[in-house]
Structure 1
Amino acid sequence: MTVPTVVLVHGAFADASSWAPVTAELLDRGLTVLVPPVYNRSLSADAASVRAVAEAVDGPVLLAGHSYGGAVVGVAGEAANVVGLVFVSGYALQEGESLGELQGRFPDSDLAANLVYQRFPVAGGEPGTDVSVAVDAFPAVFAAGVPEATARVLAVSQRPLAAAAFGEPAAAAAWRTKPSWGIVSSADRTINPDVERFGYERAGARKVVEIDAPHLVMQTHPVDVADVIAAAAHETA
């Protein structure tokens, strides 16, 4: 029995450290874990980057994506050695669907009114636009439930998401051929929890776990999140 390597994929406005409590929990359970950076430039480029990480693993891989990272793993999961997907407070997109299209079918979360836009240079091309969360709103909207001192640091160390990624259609929906699991953060103020529920149901997730938690459920409920990921890893072994 070969237990897959777990690749944890972070989302927008965060980095790999957002997974730190879950990473430690999974390592303590004897699982092999990788937590690569996601550059948040475009869905296709981010998925290609994560897919390359997965394909470099000698053996099966379980992808777990948080938030925007859910959209990323849904595309990157087409890699032949990916054996399953775990969506954590995330987007499970259909092929040809964008983040904006899926989100637009549901009432806005508190995030929509607290986004900040800033131009960034693109070598040889027109400037792009970065999207981040207003620093003063970040603790309540994105990092609710996280200790205040930690939330303040996270607020000023965000990894923005390029605005173009919101409208980019997903090139694939790996959940159509790979088993999936879902975690709904029922107190999420960043993504409407109904967006999560809808995506997981459409994907035919084997199991959906509802946690009374904010968006950064990996920070506030790491054992619960690790339980779902570890169970998925062993089920796909």
Structure 2
Amino acid sequence: MAANPTVVLVHGAFADASSFRALIPELLDSGFPVVAPAVPNRSLNGDAAYIASVVRQIEGDVVLVGHSYGGAVITVAGVEENVRALVYLAGYALQQGESLGELQGGFPDSDLATALVQTTYPQPDGTQGTDVAVDPAKVHDVFAQDVDPEITRILAVSQRPLAAAAFGEPAEAAAWTSKPSWGVVSSSDRTINPDVERFGYQRAGATVVEIDSSHLVMLSHPKESADVIREAARATER
């Protein structure tokens, strides 16, 4: 029997790798090695280059999993040779040359549009960049309405913001054109319009599973999320 692939979990905007805290034990208990790196959240292709560097240093096959903005990141990084499957969790499946803003702009806004706040940060060239995060008072209702409020109060103040410039950056590649993919639609998502998820997955030819969940599907439905990852690993065994 072939060894299980390593599952690389790529978090999204407004979160960090701890957003996978409920999913990781499910995978480890199933015998999957897991890596959950911290994504810089500075630029789409820069973030993808970082994740690709992590993937290249893993011995053996990888199942690359992306949540939310992390879906856009794995779309680019997934071209690495040892990636055998992509799994999107309430994520963006971009096509090459497409930006997050372009994909999202084709559909009605979610509740996120009125829940965002902006702050500035210094860039290496001395100019000011803009960060985007969710208003902490709205994190539970917009981001994670089916997650324990005691958890969301912590998520609200520990966000990893996303540089606003990442929304307009075209994806340099679309790994789903050459790699099999699976996609989880969070049908009660208030952060990404679920139709954005459905459209991207259909275009990618993904195997689609719908879960009645908030945006943080891997936190509120870890077993069901793990089942999709396990299925992707089984279906692409080699």
Aligning the two structures, in what range does the TM-score lie when normalised by the shorter sequence? over 0.9
- Could you tell me how far 1:4 is from its partner in structure 2? 1.4
1:162 has 2:163 as partner: yes
Residue pair 1:4, 1:236 contacting (<8 A) in 2 also: no
Counterpart of 1:32 in structure 2 is 33
Distance 1:228 1:142 in 2: 21
Counterpart of 1:137 in structure 2 is 138
Distance 2:124 2:55 in 1: 28
Counterpart of 1:110 in structure 2 is 111
1:236 has 2:233 as partner: no
Could you list the runs of 4 or more consecutive aligned residues of structure 1 that deviate by over 4 angstroms after TM superposition? none
SS at match of 1:137: helix
Distance 1:57 1:73 in 2: 15
Residue pair 1:65, 1:71 contacting (<8 A) in 2 also: yes
Distance 1:36 1:156 in 2: 20
SS at match of 1:136: helix
SS at match of 2:84: strand
The sequence identity of aligned pairs, in percent, is 63
Distance 1:43 1:233 in 2: 26
CA RMSD of aligned residues (A): 0.7
Counterpart of 2:148 in structure 1 is 147
Residue pair 2:4, 2:31 contacting (<8 A) in 1 also: no
- Could you tell me how far 1:57 is from its partner in structure 2? 0.6
How many equivalent pairs are there? 236
- Could you tell me how far 1:123 is from its partner in structure 2? 2.2
Q: Deviations over 1:187-212 (max 9, x none)?
A: 0000000000000000001x200001
Residue pair 2:7, 2:34 contacting (<8 A) in 1 also: yes
Distance 1:79 1:126 in 2: 33
Residue pair 1:3, 1:236 contacting (<8 A) in 2 also: no
1:66 has 2:93 as partner: no
Distance 2:126 2:101 in 1: 24
Task: Tell me the TM-score normalised to structure 2 length.
Answer: 0.98
Distance 1:35 1:95 in 2: 25
Task: Tell me the TM-score normalised to structure 1 length.
Answer: 0.98
Distance 2:149 2:62 in 1: 35
Distance 1:83 1:228 in 2: 14
1:212 has 2:212 as partner: yes
- Could you tell me how far 1:38 is from its partner in structure 2? 0.5
- Could you tell me how far 1:126 is from its partner in structure 2? 1.2
Distance 2:99 2:196 in 1: 13
Residue pair 2:92, 2:196 contacting (<8 A) in 1 also: yes
Counterpart of 2:221 in structure 1 is 221
Counterpart of 1:75 in structure 2 is 76
Counterpart of 1:11 in structure 2 is 12
